[in-house]
Amino acid sequence: MTETAAFSRTDALRIIAEVLHDQPMVLTLGGTVREMIAVTGRQPSHLYVLDSMGLPVPIGLGLALGLENDERFRRVTVVEGDGSLLMGFSVLSTIGLLKPSKLLVIVLDNGVYLATGGQPTAARTTDFAAVARACGFDAKDVDGPEALRAALAESLTHPGPLLLRVKVGTEAPSTAFFLEDPVVLAEDFRRWLKGPTDT
Amino acid sequence: MSAAADPRSQAIIDGVEQLHPEFVLELPSSTLKTILGHFIDRPGVRTFPIPREEEGVGILSGLSLAGRRAVMIIQDNGIGNLITALSTFPQAYHLPMLIITARRGGLGEYNSMIHNVSERAERLLDAANFRYFQLDHRSPIREWAPSVVRTYEYAQITHRPVFLLVNLMGG
């Protein structure tokens, strides 16, 4: 792990959205949702978790289990933060148990609870990739934009669940509140999952 | 195994079987031993443990969004763990799900502190605005299995999480 931020969360989100543009994606709460919307606009393939700290990875795990045999999707991605992952840390053990083949967990690790003022998390002393491997699935640290782009491309053919821990900075760009009705968000995502022929 | 089950546990097993679940999420309880044993051993249903109730809420939410048939089986002393997760995600996003919840506390309870949560389960659920139905000594056993199916359907129709509180201890 490195203490030096390689690049900003927004830059990481831009690369993630570009490489995984046609795959279902769960986005963690706070600035991540707002920054992704600033980058891509609202996308029906993106499930925006507006609150529910600790829940994005379990939600993605359920999706990955449910879409295991759906040939339209190669990866079910969760973009998670270090603070939210730590709140639901037991899910790494459940992923190792169930081994959902399509699940990709991207941890954008800025080491702080950025949305609440930058208080430090325990990420500084936690090796997320090592924990994932100890739980029984593959993981690695990714440093910098080119390494992230390569790791994401590789993930599309990687067999089995995968965790990528990406060190990002603590920049907090000004973004508008996202106040859409959660019912609409869920229904848009569900319709996108079903595909045009089933809606 | 199921042939030796007590009538209440067997009725819940029968009801869940009628749902044709693809996934059963379970958090063990001694009162649920028979029911969970049935599904853990059953081929064709992916049954797996959840370490905390709120993690199960998240997984069940993902399965619901993917359109899969799933049920979560827990004990009522875990209701406190899942209130925030359930309120902020499936309740807010209108995701249907069935949570079968075994009751503790009351006459016959042998644990000295579990009643502190379990005997307030209904009030906790009411306060959080979660819908629930109940099966206990007031319910004829013939209604138990159909009630599992009807509660699952109720969740689908009303687009929200619904609990089925089941007393397997005789109360």
- Per residue in B22-58, pLDDT (tens digit) is 999 999 999 999 999 999 999 999 999 999 999 999 9
| Local confidence band at B128 (pLDDT 50, 70, 90 cut-offs) | very high
Q: Please say whether the dihedral angle defined by the alpha carbons of residues B54, A16, A103 and A171, taken in this order, is positive or negative.
A: negative
- Amino acid (1-letter code) at residue A146: E
A interface mutation test: which of B69, B89, B160 has the most A CBs within 10 A? B89
Q: Residues 6 or more apart from A70 whose CB is under 8 A from it?
A: none
**Tell me, what's the ipTM?**
0.96
Using a CB-CB cut-off of 8 Å, the residues of chain A touching B70 are 62
Query: Rg of chain A's alpha carbons, rounded to an integer?
Result: 16
For chain B, give the percent of residues with pLDDT over 90.
90
Using a CB-CB cut-off of 8 Å, the residues of chain A touching B46 are 65
| Local confidence band at B170 (pLDDT 50, 70, 90 cut-offs) | confident
Determine the pLDDT at residue A3.
Answer: 47
The minimum CA-CA distance between B159 and chain A, rounded to whole Å, is: 10
Asked if B65 lies within 8 A of A64 by C-beta distance, the reply is no
The minimum CA-CA distance between A27 and chain B, rounded to whole Å, is: 13
Determine the pLDDT at residue B107.
Answer: 86
The pLDDT of B143-147, averaged and rounded, is 98
Determine the pLDDT at residue B4.
Answer: 64
Task: Give the integer Cα–Cα distance in Å for B80 and B124.
Answer: 8
| Local confidence band at B1 (pLDDT 50, 70, 90 cut-offs) | very low
Determine the pLDDT at residue B141.
Answer: 97
The pLDDT of B52-66, averaged and rounded, is 98
Q: Residues 6 or more apart from A156 whose CB is under 8 A from it?
A: A19, A74, A75
Chain B within 8 Å of A91 (Cβ-Cβ)? yes
What residues of chain A, 112 to 171, have a C-beta less than 8 Å from chain B? none
The minimum CA-CA distance between A82 and chain B, rounded to whole Å, is: 17
DSSP state letters, B55-97 = HHHHHHHHHHHTT--EEEEEEGGGHHHHHHHHHHTHHHHT--E
Determine the pLDDT at residue A6.
Answer: 58
The minimum CA-CA distance between B72 and chain A, rounded to whole Å, is: 12
Asked if B62 lies within 8 A of A94 by C-beta distance, the reply is no
- The predicted model scores a pTM of 0.96
Residues of chain A with pLDDT under 70: 1-6, 196-199
Determine the pLDDT at residue A47.
Answer: 98
Chain B, nearest residue to A181 by Cα: B93
Q: Which of B51, B66, B88 sits opposite A193 (nearest CB)?
A: B66
Determine the pLDDT at residue A1.
Answer: 46
CB B45 within 8 A of CB B24: yes
Helix, strand, coil percent content, chain A, rounded in steps of 5: 45, 20, 40
Chain B, nearest residue to A61 by Cα: B59
B interface mutation test: which of A65, A86, A193 has the most B CBs within 10 A? A65
Write out pLDDT tens, residues B84-109: 999 999 999 999 999 999 999 988 89
CB A197 within 8 A of CB B106: no
Task: Give the integer Cα–Cα distance in Å for B128 and B111.
Answer: 26
Chain B within 8 Å of A60 (Cβ-Cβ)? yes
